[in-house]
Chains A and B, each alone.
Chain A
Amino acid sequence: MEILHSWSENMPGLGPLWLSVKLGLVTTGILILFGTPLAFWLSRTRSHAKTIIEAMVALPIVLPPTVLGFYLLILLGPSGAIGSYWLKLTGETLTFSFGGLVLASILYSMPFVIQPLQNAFESVSRGFVEAAATLGARPLDVFFTVVVPLGARGFLTAAIMGFAHTLGEFGVVLMVGGNIPGQTRVISIAIYDHVEAMEYGQAHALAAMLLVFSFVCMFALYFINRRWRHEH
């Protein structure tokens, strides 16, 4: 990462790439951390609230990014509910900052992390959980020794999907983050800028990079999934 960072200082074209990677890693990390308990709850609950929460989690899949971005702009802005509180707390605005981008990306990529996790947890048979309980394991112990290892494939899918999806976001970033180099100018925005300025060469380089990267991600996902199926 250090190497990538120093590269990006010397080669301005790589700055947006580095920013995108950083955004992807931070967003995915936070989503897995907080999404795991939510996904596990969704996979086990019989509560009526489940349907509402599932619909809310899935919303960003169908919502135009500009709609999500618009409401986030209002919410995160200096006079918005969250933005004003953040301003009081830190003295900085949330919109047009990296922090705001992370928050927006978390919402935008949420279904791509929560849904694979929930599917993975649902596929872990209740029987194993019961067996572990009768062998003396408490619920949290069962979760880490049985549910997580058996759902490992879901974690991998969630991480790759969350990361790749964050890398590709455009509309939400444009609405909430704008286009500040080193702060909010991620790779997709940079491509758009280059095209606007008729710099097709630079746009090509970045676009090709994103294309290859996305393919590698998907390939890795399907490849590992296949190996997994053969092992079990």
Chain B
Amino acid sequence: MSIEAGHVAVSLSRPDFTLDVNIRVPSHGVTGIFGASGCGKTTLLRCIAGLEQGARGSVGFNGELWQDGDHFVPPWQRPVGYVFQDARLFPHMTVERNLHYGRRRSRATAELTSPGEIIAMLGIGHLLDRRPAQLSGGERQRASIARALLRYPSLVLMDEPLANLDAARKHEIMPFLDRLHASLKVPMLYVSHSLDEMTRLCDHLVVMQSGKVLGQGRLHDMLMRTDLPILGGGEASTVLDVRVLDYDPQYQLSRLQFAGGEIIVPGRHGDRDCPLRLRIMASDVSLCRERPQSSSILNILPAVVESRQAEAGGYVLVQLRVGEVRILARVTLKSAEALELVPGQSLFVQIKSVAVKNSAEQMAVGEANNRETI
């Protein structure tokens, strides 16, 4: 579905650490690079940007070879927009001069998004005359993202832009990243050790451990895997992309639509058609042969069993099809046998709890987008 735009096959040896990875960079969307601290995520980004001269291997993007054998394109000639964990705004320049530093030094490209739009998108218009020392951590990181984007890169590299911020600042930046995700026309690699950020932002996922790639693929598929214990303690989950249908103020419930039907979640999560991402843990999904007539559970959907797979501890992971999407359920072996689960069987899934991955902030973004269209 996604066309491959680039490849990174590099290895790097240091006395205490070895990186040996081979990843594909899709031509669209956000690819999350996930793994514990020290697993080589940052080093991988640095290899792509050309900041690691000791790296061996091959890096190519959009038909250009950035590194191969002895061929090594220096960092200043690679059209990447690098957002560092620590922002790295030049302290002797105002925010405005920082923003234009990269822009003046970049190839002239058709500017799909004007500098004004980028500055507005990141909400830093009022900060242009300030020095980096006068900014809060969140403002600094937003300015640094704008600086990278104003280079009009063909690949955006973000190295844990939220890692150095406290919860409130993270909260402040996330909506800007959501907005970026929605409007960015070039692919982005996003490094993080927070699965929450990943589920919310990414379309693809690369999982790393000790300098190696454990697996890579579409985020939705990756989170369904159970062979990657690093992802949520080995517990499989389903990611659903939904749109808001309406909000019922009396019961304070939102009705959301996805390719498999409708789902109801508590709280208000934005205006009609506002896109949301949900994560449903497999253990929060239960199965019944007949539609329960009276139940406290709101979300009961017809489903068809696709496959079942025994798990350790007397559990069975059941893959079901609901409309056009797949949902995973984790039930006990005893229940699976009592239900006589076989592929092709029709039954009902009850979803006990749903995590909305981008909600309140998304609402603000939705409103901002509306303002822009007016």
Binding site for B on A (CB under 8 A): 127-128, 130-138, 141, 145-146, 149-150, 232
Contacts and interface: CB of A to CB of B under 8 A. Distances in A.
Nearest to A127: B88
Given A134-B51, A134-B82, A150-B92, 10 more contacts: A128-B88, A130-B84, A131-B82, A134-B49, A134-B76, A134-B102, A135-B102, A135-B151, A145-B101, A146-B90
Nearest to A152: B92
**Nearest 7 A/B pairs, CB to CB:** A136-B105, A135-B102, A134-B82, A131-B88, A133-B75, A149-B92, A127-B88
Given A130-B75, A232-B91, A136 B102 contact: yes
A128 B101 CA distance: 12
Contacts of A131: 82, 84, 88, 90
A130 B91 contact: no
Interface residues of B, number: 25
Contacts of B84: 127, 130-131
B74 interface: yes
9 contacts: A130-B88, A132-B101, A133-B50, A133-B75, A134-B75, A134-B78, A136-B105, A137-B76, A150-B91
A137 B74 CA distance: 10
B286 to A, nearest CB: 50
Main secondary structure of the interface of A (DSSP, over half): helix
A141 B91 CA distance: 17
Contacts of B151: 135-136
B90 A133 contact: no
Interface string B76-120: 111011101010101110000000011001100000000000000
Contacts of B102: 134-136
A149 B148 CA distance: 21
B80 A134 contact: yes
B105 A133 contact: no
B188 to A, nearest CB: 15
A136 B88 contact: no
Contacts of A138: 76
Given A127-B84, A127-B86, A133 B92 contact: no
B214 to A, nearest CB: 28
Contacts of A150: 90-92
A135 B86 contact: no
B105 A141 contact: yes
A127 B91 CA distance: 12
Nearest to A133: B75
A8 to B, nearest CB: 40
B166 to A, nearest CB: 21
Nearest to B105: A136
A172 B147 CA distance: 53
A150 B132 CA distance: 14
Given A150-B92, A232-B91, A133 B133 contact: no
B147 A135 contact: yes
Contacts of A146: 90
Nearest to A146: B90
B51 A136 contact: no
A193 to B, nearest CB: 48
Nearest to A145: B101
Contacts of B49: 134
Contacts of A130: 51, 75, 84, 88
Contacts of B92: 149-150
Contact of A133 (B51, B81, B86, B147): B51
Nearest to A135: B102
A136 B107 CA distance: 9
Contact of B76 (A128, A133, A145): A133
A141 B101 CA distance: 11
A232 B133 CA distance: 7
Given A127-B86, A141-B105, A232-B133, A133 B74 contact: yes
A232 B90 CA distance: 12
B94 to A, nearest CB: 13
Which residue, of A127, A136, A137, A138, has the highest number of chain B Cβ atoms within 10 A?
Answer: A136
